[in-house]
Structures are given as structure tokens and as C-alpha cells.
Amino acid sequence: MKEIKRIGVFTSGGDAPGMNAAIRAVVRAGMYRNLEVYGIHRGYEGMINGEIKHLDSRKVSGIIQYGGTILKSARSAEFRTFEGRQKAYENLKKHEIDAVVAIGGDGTFGGAKQFSEEFDIPFVGNDNVPEKGILFLDEFNLATKSTAKGAYEPFVGIPGTIDNDLFGTDYTIGYDTCLNTVMEAIDKIRDTASAHDRLFFIEVMGRDAGFIALNAGIACGAEAVFIPEVKSNVANLKNYLEEGFRRKKSSNIIIVSEGDDAGGAMDIAKQVKEDLKDYDVRVSILGHIQRGGSPTAFDRVLATRLGIASVDALLDGQRSIMVGIVNNKIAHVPFNKTIKHHNPLDMDMISTIDIMNV
């Protein structure tokens, strides 16, 4: 592998508070290691369209406190095609970019992994490394010899997603900020729920993982939590609410993860209302408020550490890995593992809700 002198950085997928702090860290760590750093705007779409600009210390000054991402994020249907990825590769070579830092989730890493395989990049921890110089055309299931001499484009990923569901890291950038945003919103909703004796169903993000819902439920004293990892039992909830009503407990907070198998907060609320007509039922879907806001101190520190670690990993010859944090130490995890597996939820924490509602 040739010496790395110039690296690119981009954000992709859903935005997460702390992405800007990670971009800042990559740029300044790169400069500290005598590298040139280029920002790729609008993720893979921008890579295809050549939206690549030089970044320096001044251009990332004063961004650490902002949510969103200064590099923007976009979905790219074209990158799903080999022709699109070929354009992306040509643009990276045009700007003489030797390696790339990808900030995002498993979709982002999946794209990076496929891109690397097609352009002769072996990735750590996988025995099925493509033959040197071979491009795999996924649309036609054919292979052809690469015409790109010395085709190498190492990728290192930084976990940036509010869901906290990526395997190989205890925390993802944005999760802590999101959890605090949810907690503040629920605290405010509980005020009005208590004032009007209402039953609130609050839906939070988490299509495949219940980290936000479960931990918000514990932090906010919710009466019940519905998460994707546990089969929903609406009948049990009705029994619990009926018992509470007999004890003159008429205000309750129920938190529902959007990926719950019962159909989300609206459907569960409808089922409950049919049988418990004495309850004044309301539904609140927090939506994209969970993605925004100034990142917490935890997310800023995490993003900074992982940004530096990503640059160090590239200079150390690592490729197609994610840098994560495990037991407060930097960890390197192959893309193929972090894509195939999900960060497991601590199922013992589910009992905490029941214990706290005695």
C-alpha cells in the first residue's frame, strides 16, 4: 500500500449530533499528522458528483457545538450501481485522495465495504478477500480485470447514529444527545399529563433497536416501554392500566419504539382506548427533534476521540474497519462484523421498569 498523504472525510445516512465534532477531529488530526484533508459533501452522492473541497483548521473552527453536519448527508441510489461507484472512485483519484474516513451507520459502512472490495481493498477479519485486481460487477455477477493501476482506497468508519445499535462499540456518536433530548421532551409531557390526568403514548426513534426507548423509560420513570427486542403484550398493559385506575392513578407515560411489533404508538393507543374508555388518551410522536440540537459533552469527547483514532488507524495500515469505544478504550472492528451484527440490548435492564413501578 502506498503512503497516505491526502484523506477524505464524509458523513452519510441519518445525521447525528456530534458529527461536526468528528469532522473537526479528523481534519485537525490529519493536519497534525502532516496530511491534507478533503471534505466530501453530501455523502456518496457528492463523491459521485465530485463535491470535494479542501478543509483546514479554520474551516472547521467553531463547529463543535452544532448538531447536523457541515458536510451534509444524502441518500444515493446511483451509488448502489457499479457505474456509480466507478464514478466515485474516479473522483477520489482525480483529487488524489489516498484514504477515506466515513462517518455514519451500518448502511454507510456497507457501501464502503462493497466499494473497497470492488477496488481491490482487502478488509480485516475476512478470509474471503477478492483476488488482486478483480472488480466484481454485482448487477451481472461477472468479474473483469481492473484497469486502475495500484487501485487502493482504504476506508475507516466512525459510528455516527442516534440508535446506538452498531456492533463493536459501546456508544455511537449522537446517542447520548438524543437520549437527553428525549428525556427533556418526556419530562415536559409528563407535566401536562399530570395536570389533565391523561395517558400519553410517546413514540421515539429506534426501528431495529430499543436503546432510546428503554433508557428514556428508566430515566423518565415511564410506566411501560415497548421495544423491538421484546414481543409486545398489549393485554398486559391494559391490565396494568386498569389496576392503576382503581388506585386512582390516572396519568401515565408509555414509551414506544417506532420499530415495535405492535405497530407503533398510534396503533397501541387505539387498542387501549377501545377497552379503557375512562382514560383520556393522547399520542405524541417526537420525530426528528431527536436528531437535532447541540451535542452533549459526552458526544463531543467521543467524536473527538474517534476522529483522531480513525486517522491513526489509516496511518497504521488499517482498512475497512470501524473505530469504536469499548470499556473506554479505542477498538477496531471489521466492517463485515459491524454490518452483520447489532449491539445487543442488556435485557436485564427491562426488569428495571417493573421494579420502579411497584
Angle at 42 between CA 26 and CA 332, to 5 degrees: 40
One CATH from 3.40.718.10, 1.10.3720.10, 3.40.50.450, 1.10.287.3510 for 6-174+295-340: 3.40.50.450
**Is 299 a known active-site residue?**
no
User: What's the pLDDT score for residue 250?
Assistant: 63
pTM of the model: 0.87
Is the pLDDT at 131 greater than 50, yes or no? no
| Contact partners, residue 40, CB within 8 Å, separation at least 6 | 8, 9, 10, 46, 47, 51, 52, 71, 100
Question: Which of 106, 163, 176, 260 is an active site residue?
Answer: 163
pLDDT of 122 > 60? The answer is: no
pLDDT tens digit string along 236-246?
888 888 877 66
- Asked whether this chain's domains 6-174+295-340 and 176-291 adopt the same fold, the reply is yes
Per the structure block, which three cell numbers stand in for 64? 463543535
d(C-alpha 215, C-alpha 235), whole Å: 23
Instruction: Give the CATH number of domain 176-291.
Output: 3.40.50.460
Mean pLDDT confidence for 42-53: 96
Residue 215 phi, psi (nearest 5) = -70, -30
- For residues 299 and 247, the answer to whether their CB atoms sit within 8 Å is no
- Is the model's pLDDT at 149 over the cut of 50? no
User: What is the length of the chain?
Assistant: 358
Domain extents for the chain? Answer: 6-174+295-340, 176-291
> What pLDDT digit, counting tens, does each position of 277-326 carry?
778 889 999 999 999 999 999 999 999 999 999 999 999 999 899 999 99
At 248-277, the pLDDT tens digits run 666 689 999 998 888 889 999 998 888 877
